[in-house]
Amino acid sequence: MKLLRRILGAAPLAASGGAPPDDFVPANELEQVLVRGRAGQASIDDFLDKLMQSQAVLLLDRELPPGGWDNSVNPAIFTSRDGFPVLAIFTSVERVPKISGFPYALLVDFRWILRGVVPGTGLVVNPRSAVGAEIAPHAVAELQKKAAAKPGTPALV
């Protein structure tokens, strides 16, 4: 587990589809697949498969205590355009914007994040970034089933 504190300038809201901005440089393999997907060179399944193997960043309202996760800690959750709640995750530390009320960032395995997503909640990948995605609640439920079927789902220590 890697806990980070980030103070960055806010980025524009996510654009949908097409090539990423010229100044977007993928920071890892997950972002490379996301960029290829936006260009029509990778499928959503390619992206989701890579996401399942990757780490992602959660924004938190407070620092985790030394003992690990505490239920009084709140991750950043927004409302999608379709009205359902979405947990904000980021593909790399470089994508984490400054969001009021969430000054802490936690870098963890994506499969660990899935364990805590409640039914009816989707994911928004890289909110406020020009390169992002939204994953509907039903798709998150499918990812949770897939993660549960694989041995060795990581624990937060």
Domain ranges of the chain: 2-148
Report the C-alpha dihedral over residues 100, 60, 10, 121, rounded to 10 degrees.
Answer: -100
| Digit-coded pLDDT (tens) for 98-127 | 999 999 999 999 999 999 999 999 999 999
The rounded distance, in Å, linking the Cα atoms of 116 and 123 is: 12
Please report where in the chains the tokens 């994508």 appear, as a residue.
95
Q: Which band of pLDDT confidence, cut at 50, 70 and 90, is reported for residue 154?
A: low
The whole model's pTM is what?
Answer: 0.83
The rounded distance, in Å, linking the Cα atoms of 149 and 135 is: 20
Cβ neighbours, 10 Å, residue 112:
19
Range among 18-22, 88-92, 129-133 rated most confident: 88-92
Cα Rg of the chain (Å, integer): 15
Which two structure tokens, joined as six digits, stand for 90?
A: 């980021």
Q: Which helix (H) or strand (E) holds 109?
A: strand 104-109
Average pLDDT along the chain = 84
| Digit-coded pLDDT (tens) for 140-150 | 999 999 998 87
The rounded distance, in Å, linking the Cα atoms of 62 and 88 is: 15
pLDDT of residue 19: 64
